[in-house]
């Protein structure tokens, strides 16, 4: 691996993607992005650092000598191989995995040295937004790439396999020797072997701890991730508590689709992040500090390096690898991203479907023209409940009985605050306690991360960062937890969530305009309904199990095909906690087959 130093953004400049076919597909869907915007979306680092670049190229499969970063392995987990180059050499990575070359001299788990004389800007591989928010659909034999759409990749098992490959490399002398020869090249001395082994063991220990914090028996399957759970548990690692408090990441959700995002007043499935834009002399300008904070939190969740220490007493904020400049560029890309156009044919007359939409859907899902990228969108937040129309906030409010766990976990998870104890909460409700809500600690960590990136960002972000208003809640039965099993403990938590939902804003899910909804299968926040046609059925008639993993599109039912196949290997079971397909009926289940078909055609046209 070359030891030459490069500028902070040189990696992005040196990555060249095979993007021509992608751009063509995007043009056919009329999503509105220029080549420059698409290049930024695919190339720029947000500060995520998963493993050193030279290690990624050298790493083998756990049970063979085949390279881990190969077309075969990448495709097996639903990611798309792509072939950038660095310093004139081409290599293979999953699309959305990019290089980061942050200065690491003040970082934590990525400050590793594996050869004598190594500098502080060795490139690492990390993820950016496009890894999770780029969809691929095989529509009638045409491969369509949908920017801002939800990926169908299997994040959970990809990272399990990556960890297994790293651990096997450390444990198997022959595999480690091949790894060392590839990484060290001409510098293959005994001293460098020892440095490399020590660094490998250190990274493995970090990921082992992270896996323990997130541990759950629930398999997410393709196209889902408990992103909030992973972010909150990364905060548990940041606190430097000994040991950090685990909270199971057992509430996987579908990746949100990103078009029209800048128009929304709240974001995330439970509306936990508010938009907060600073004034500007230029119409439409001004820094969205809410978006910057949201993206900084996301970068932390996908392994940006952060240390909860100040670089020096005179400088506010935490040290981190988060790249705030690139985060702002990536966020600004969404201002011109249009929902994808339906690529198939449609009936000439959609009047009947439009009428059904107005009668059954428009109360929650506001209509929005596909080319409208300016109208503000105020989300309809629908409280969770055990049954539809239970615990309404008012006489005209509805509730929703879809799976509650994403909202419940975000509202309830606590941890040892470690070094974060005593920091003022973002909502000014008091200091972080020694054991407190992870949601509150996330707000503090994001704020301190942005403060650590300079006085200018601090001044912009300080007032109104995220707009988070956590509600301190004492869970009924907490003092008696020792009397209950883990199952009973979770049941008590759910009861408390339902009791609190009429008054706690976090205990709700967001309804948004359905423009481009055809390209976002599977459906509901947790991906538990495979097609739009199934979503328009009564909940009891929806598939209780179905297979996922394929990109083959069913344009009649509007979603991915669900039959078992080589690609469709994961059996999604809606009977498991976190996977419920209940709720979201609101009368559409009473539609006739003809009405359902009319409404489905109209939804395709949005």
Looking at residue 27, its pLDDT comes to 58
Q: What angle do CA 205, 443, 41 make, to 5 degrees?
A: 75
What's the rounded Cα separation, in Å, for the pair 508 and 501?
A: 7
Mean pLDDT score of the chain: 84
C-beta contacts of 225-228 below 8 A and 24+ residues apart = 225/132, 225/155, 225/156, 225/252, 225/253, 225/255, 226/250, 226/251, 226/252, 226/253, 226/406, 226/409, 227/132, 227/253, 227/255, 227/298, 227/301, 228/253, 228/268, 228/272, 228/406, 228/409, 228/410
Q: How far apart are the first and last CA of the chain?
A: 50
The residues spanned by each domain of the chain are 10-214, 351-403+508-605
Give me the count of residues in the chain.
606
Looking at residue 396, its pLDDT comes to 61
Band of residue 519 on the pLDDT scale cut at 50, 70, 90: very high
Looking at residue 590, its pLDDT comes to 83
Closest CA to 522 of 498, 496, 554, 493: 554
Q: What integer is the mean pLDDT of 135-163?
A: 93
Q: What integer is the mean pLDDT of 144-165?
A: 95
How much of the chain is helix, strand and coil, in % rounded to 5? 40, 15, 50
Does the pLDDT value for residue 10 go beyond 50? Answer: no
Looking at residue 498, its pLDDT comes to 80
Does the pLDDT value for residue 438 go beyond 70? Answer: yes
Please, are residues 377 and 265 in contact by the beta-carbon 8 Å criterion?
yes
What's the rounded Cα separation, in Å, for the pair 115 and 373?
A: 50
Looking at residue 324, its pLDDT comes to 86
**369: number of Cβ within 10 Å:** 11
What's the rounded Cα separation, in Å, for the pair 484 and 130?
A: 43
For residue 106, is it left (φ>0), alpha (ψ between -120 and 50) or beta? alpha
Chain CA centroid to CA 118, Å: 33
What's the rounded Cα separation, in Å, for the pair 305 and 297?
A: 12
pLDDT digits (tens, 9 = 90+) for 201-259: 999 999 999 999 999 999 999 999 999 999 999 999 999 998 999 999 999 999 999 99
Looking at residue 391, its pLDDT comes to 60
Token pair for 289? 């500090």
pLDDT digits (tens, 9 = 90+) for 285-298: 667 777 888 889 99
Please, are residues 320 and 241 in contact by the beta-carbon 8 Å criterion?
no
Helix (H) or strand (E) holding 571: strand 570-573
Strands 318-320 and 435-437, by their bridges, are unpaired
* Region of poorest pLDDT, from 264-278, 425-439, 447-461, 497-511: 447-461
Helix (H) or strand (E) holding 293: helix 289-301
Does the pLDDT value for residue 469 go beyond 80? Answer: no
What's the rounded Cα separation, in Å, for the pair 103 and 320?
A: 10
Its pTM stands at 0.81
Does the pLDDT value for residue 480 go beyond 50? Answer: no
Q: What integer is the mean pLDDT of 517-525?
A: 93
What residues have CB less than 8 Å from 437, skipping those under 6 apart?
A: 412, 413, 414, 470, 472
Looking at residue 467, its pLDDT comes to 33
């Amino acid at each position: 691996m070359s030891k030459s130093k490069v500028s902070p953004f040189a990696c992005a400049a040196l990555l060249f993607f095979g993007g021509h076919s992608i751009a063509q597909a995007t043009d056919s869907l009329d999503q509105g992005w220029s080549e420059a915007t698409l290049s930024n979306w695919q190339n720029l680092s947000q500060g995520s650092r998963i493993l050193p670049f030279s290690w990624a190229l050298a790493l083998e499969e756990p049970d063979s000598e085949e390279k881990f970063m190969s077309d075969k392995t990448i495709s097996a987990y639903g990611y798309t191989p792509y072939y950038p180059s660095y310093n004139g050499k081409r290599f293979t990575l999953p699309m959305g995995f990019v290089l980061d070359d942050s200065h690491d001299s003040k970082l934590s788990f990525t400050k590793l040295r594996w050869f004598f004389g190594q500098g502080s800007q060795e490139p690492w591989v990390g993820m950016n937004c496009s890894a999770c928010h780029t969809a691929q659909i095989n529509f009638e034999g045409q491969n369509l790439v949908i920017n801002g759409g939800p990926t169908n990749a299997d994040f959970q098992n990809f990272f399990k396999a990556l960890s297994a490959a790293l651990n096997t490399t450390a444990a198997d002398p022959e595999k480690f020797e091949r790894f060392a020869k590839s990484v060290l090249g001409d510098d293959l001395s005994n001293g460098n072997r020892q440095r490399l082994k020590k660094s490998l063991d250190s990274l493995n220990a970090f990921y082992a701890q992270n896996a323990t914090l997130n541990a759950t028996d629930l398999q997410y399957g393709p196209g889902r991730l408990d992103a909030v759970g992973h972010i909150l548990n990364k905060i548990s690692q940041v606190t430097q508590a000994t040991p950090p408090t685990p909270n199971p990441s057992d509430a996987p959700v579908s990746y949100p689709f990103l078009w029209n995002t800048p128009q929304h007043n709240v974001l995330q499935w439970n509306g936990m992040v508010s938009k907060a834009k600073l004034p500007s002399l230029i119409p439409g300008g001004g820094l969205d500090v809410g978006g910057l904070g949201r993206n900084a939190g996301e970068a932390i969740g996908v392994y940006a390096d952060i240390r909860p220490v100040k670089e020096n007493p005179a400088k506010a904020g935490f040290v981190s690898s988060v790249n705030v400049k690139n985060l702002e560029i990536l966020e600004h890309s969404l201002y011109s991203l249009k929902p994808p156009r339906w690529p198939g044919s449609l009936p000439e007359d959609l009047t009947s479907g439009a009428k059904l939409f107005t009668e059954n859907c428009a109360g929650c899902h506001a209509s929005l023209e596909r080319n409208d990228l300016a109208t503000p969108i105020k989300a309809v937040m629908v409280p969770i409940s055990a049954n539809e129309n239970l615990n309404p906030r008012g006489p005209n409010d509805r509730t929703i009985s879809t799976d509650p766990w994403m909202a419940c976990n975000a509202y309830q998870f606590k941890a040892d605050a470690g070094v974060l104890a005593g920091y003022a909460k973002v909502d000014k409700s008091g200091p972080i306690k020694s054991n407190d809500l992870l949601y509150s600690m996330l707000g503090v960590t994001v704020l301190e991360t942005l403060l650590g990136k300079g006085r200018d960002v601090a001044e912009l972000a300080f007032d109104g960062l995220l707009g988070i208003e956590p509600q301190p809640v004492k869970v009924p039965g907490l003092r008696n937890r020792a009397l209950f099993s883990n199952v009973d403990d979770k049941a008590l938590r759910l009861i408390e969530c339902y009791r609190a939902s009429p008054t706690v804003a976090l205990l709700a899910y967001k309804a948004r305009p359905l423009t481009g909804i055809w390209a976002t299968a599977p459906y509901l926040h947790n991906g538990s309904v495979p097609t739009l046609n199934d979503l328009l059925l009564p909940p009891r008639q929806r598939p209780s199990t179905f297979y996922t993993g394929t990109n083959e599109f069913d344009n009649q039912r509007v979603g991915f095909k669900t039959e078992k196949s080589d690609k469709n290997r994961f059996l999604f079971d809606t009977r498991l906690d976190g996977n419920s397909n209940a709720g979201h009926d609101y009368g559409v289940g009473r539609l006739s087959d003809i009405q359902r078909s009319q409404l489905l055609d109209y939804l395709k046209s949005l």
